Amino acid sequence: MNLKAIEKAMRKLKLPDEVLAQMNFDSMESAAILALLSKLPELLSEKQRYAIYDQLGCCKTGKYDAASKAFAKEHAGQPLTARITAMHHEGDAPYLNEDGTIGITVRCAVDELLGTFLSCHCIRRSHGKVFTQELVERGEMDFAAISQEYCGCCSGHWRHHLQRRLGVKLHLKKIGASLRTGDTVRMREFVYEIVE
């Protein structure tokens, strides 16, 4: 999770200066990122937050993006349902919901709460050394209390590649997350509306 990317997205949305002033964008400290994520639901509407997450996401270039472009080219002209079915053969599993939204469920971790949190590529790469099981055991870090919107960056990643592969414009409608203790696999569900 990158505070600079969040700041850029907020400024692009022209959020009020009084909201932006409450953010510590100059810090890349892990605590500042968690504080910002906890603050967002208080300061912004769900619609505003999801508009920010739509702009985030890692791996929008390089090999993964090349694969998305190749998929789109191979399946050009096919209806949406055929493209979704074809993606199942690629290992991804988007699905068309009855209400016309597109969902994708992402396997995140095979570990406890800490492992689930660190399954976020951006957090693990940039801040993983800060978050340890020892902190949880000492009571200094309560992962269950962390806003589940920390995976908004991942929803931006999937939006980018689903749009490219499926040939439709999408907007995040819902982030669903499971952090139930005892699960062996954590799942994230991202649901997108098709924008006309």
Provide mean pLDDT across the span 192-196: 92
More confident residue, 113 or 151: 151
pLDDT of residue 167: 95
CB neighbour list of residue 156: distance below 8 Å, 6 or more residues apart? 53, 54, 55, 56, 57, 172
**How many other CB atoms are found less than 10 A from the CB of residue 12?**
11
Q: What is the mean pLDDT of the chain?
A: 78
pLDDT at 56: 87
Highest mean pLDDT among 50-59, 118-127, 182-191: 50-59
Give the pLDDT score at 110. 44
Q: What is the predicted pLDDT for the residue at 117? A: 58
- Residues 78-111 have pLDDT tens digits of 999 999 999 987 666 899 999 999 999 876 654 4
**The pLDDT value given to residue 181:** 47
Give the residue, 141 or 39, on which the prediction is more confident. 39
Distance from C-alpha of 113 to C-alpha of 118, rounded to nearest angstrom: 9
- Cα gap 169→160, rounded to integer Å: 9
Query: pLDDT tens for residues 174-186?
Result: 988 655 545 555 5
Q: What are phi and psi of 172, to 5 degrees?
A: -60, 130
What pLDDT, in 10s, does the model give residues 166-176? Answer: 999 999 999 88
CA distance 149 to 141: 17
For residue range 21-57, what is the model confidence (pLDDT) as tens digits?
Answer: 877 777 666 666 667 777 788 888 999 989 998 998 8
Q: At what angle are helices 46-55 and 3-12 packed, to 10 degrees?
A: 120
Going 167 to 102 to 85 to 109, the CA torsion angle's sign is: positive
